[in-house]
């Protein structure tokens, strides 16, 4: 079995995260702080802290997943490192997966902190940690893939434009749908929460944490939508991930 593509993805993940973490460890703090800002409002103005913590978990992984996917690809194009990698025996899918895994390593400490805090405050039962982690990984995969699709379709946009698009999209996916707040607020539009991978995952984590009552059919539908979102995004990325230009 050829393990080189997997090994390459891990090397790219390491080179995209470890030097940054070594020289700029405050970025871990930054990722955590951005995600925990809404918690401040929940605490000050009243609200369910367990909702806020689930939101922080989802935001930690999805915001950086999406933004980093867009910014890393556009930056690599800008500094022409991508051209050097294209000429190496590296599969484009390994490159994409590596780029997505790098930010995951950077967001991991924040994620562990929020999961730990949720467990400590009784917002997430220990038995539900596995479900939460599985869904967060799917959310990361979906958001990273969306990032890659955006950077592929805006191939000719400048690194600055793509950076702005990434931030707007990331903030939009995290703060507009019901990630930090209960989806019940949406009333008849509640189905919208299933459309976005971020709010869909937040809803499912709340279900497994026992704070959001859902029928079995609804859980199944949410899972199907989540898996389908990830699958379709990955298929598009794999299809578009080609080194050679025509």
Partner 1 sequence: MMNMEAVKAEGLSKTYRGKEPVEALKGVSLSINKGELFTLLGLNGAGKTTFLKILSTQLAPTRGAAYVMGYDVMAQASEVKNHIAVVPQDVQTYSNFTPWEYCYYFSLLRGMSKQETKDAAEKALRAVELWELRNRICLSLSGGEKKRAIIAMVLASGVDVLLLDEPTSGLDALARRKVWAVLRELVEKGATILLTTHIMEEAEMLSDRLAIIDKGTVVAKGTLDEIKGLAKEKFRVVVEGNHHDLNLEANSHTKFGNKQIVYVADEDAALKLVGTALKKGLKAEAARITLEDLFVRLVGRGEEA
Residues of the shown chain interacting with partner 1 in the complex, contacts defined by CB under 8 A = 4, 8, 11-12, 14-15, 19-20, 23-24, 78-81, 83-90, 243-246
With contact defined as beta carbons under 8 Å apart, do 193 and 34 qualify? no
Smallest gap from residue 6 Cβ to partner 1 (A): 13
Query: How far is residue 208's CA from residue 179's CA, in Å, rounded to a whole number?
Result: 15
Nearest to 147 by CA among 101, 108, 107: 101
Smallest gap from residue 69 Cβ to partner 1 (A): 17
Nearer to partner 1, 75 or 223 (CB): 75
Nearer to partner 1, 14 or 211 (CB): 14
Nearer to partner 1, 14 or 117 (CB): 14
Smallest gap from residue 81 Cβ to partner 1 (A): 7
Nearest to 203 by CA among 147, 138, 149: 138
Nearer to partner 1, 78 or 175 (CB): 78
C-alpha 15: how far from chain center: 19
Smallest gap from residue 160 Cβ to partner 1 (A): 15
DSSP for 69-130, please give it: HHHHHHHHHHHTHHHHHHTSS--HHHHHHHHHHHHHHHHHHHHHHHHHHHHHTTSS-GGGHH
78 CB-near residues (< 8 Å, 6+ apart): 159
3-state secondary structure at position 8:
helix
Nearer to partner 1, 11 or 186 (CB): 11
Nearer to partner 1, 9 or 123 (CB): 9
**What six digits make up the tokens of 144?**
């990273």
Smallest gap from residue 90 Cβ to partner 1 (A): 5
**What six digits make up the tokens of 19?**
């030097």
Element (H, E) at 208: helix 197-209
Nearer to partner 1, 188 or 244 (CB): 244
Nearest to 202 by CA among 184, 232, 220, 180: 180
Smallest gap from residue 140 Cβ to partner 1 (A): 23
Smallest gap from residue 237 Cβ to partner 1 (A): 19
Nearest to 121 by CA among 200, 28, 51, 201: 51
């Amino acid at each position: 079995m050829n393990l080189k593509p997997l090994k390459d993805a891990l090397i790219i993940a390491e080179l995209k995260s470890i030097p940054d973490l070594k020289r700029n460890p405050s970025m871990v703090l930054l990722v955590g702080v951005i995600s925990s800002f809404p918690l401040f409002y929940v605490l000050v103005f009243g609200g369910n802290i367990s909702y806020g913590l689930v939101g922080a978990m989802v935001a930690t992984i999805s915001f950086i997943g999406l933004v980093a996917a867009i910014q890393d690809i556009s930056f690599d194009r800008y500094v022409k490192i991508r051209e050097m990698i294209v000429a190496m025996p590296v599969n484009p899918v390994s490159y994409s997966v590596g780029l997505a895994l790098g930010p995951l390593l950077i967001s991991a400490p924040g994620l562990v902190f929020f999961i730990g805090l949720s467990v400590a405050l009784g917002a997430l039962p220990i038995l539900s940690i596995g479900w939460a982690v599985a869904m967060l990984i799917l959310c990361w995969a979906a958001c990273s893939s969306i990032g890659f699709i955006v950077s592929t379709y805006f191939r000719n946009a400048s690194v600055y434009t793509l950076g702005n698009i990434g931030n707007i999209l990331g903030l939009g996916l995290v703060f507009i749908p019901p990630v930090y707040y209960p989806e019940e607020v949406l009333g008849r539009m509640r189905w919208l929460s299933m459309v976005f991978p971020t709010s869909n995952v937040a809803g499912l984590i709340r279900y497994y944490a026992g704070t959001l009552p859902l029928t079995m059919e609804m859980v199944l539908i949410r899972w199907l939508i989540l898996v389908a979102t990830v699958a379709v995004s990955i298929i598009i990325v794999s299809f578009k991930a080609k080194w050679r230009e025509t």
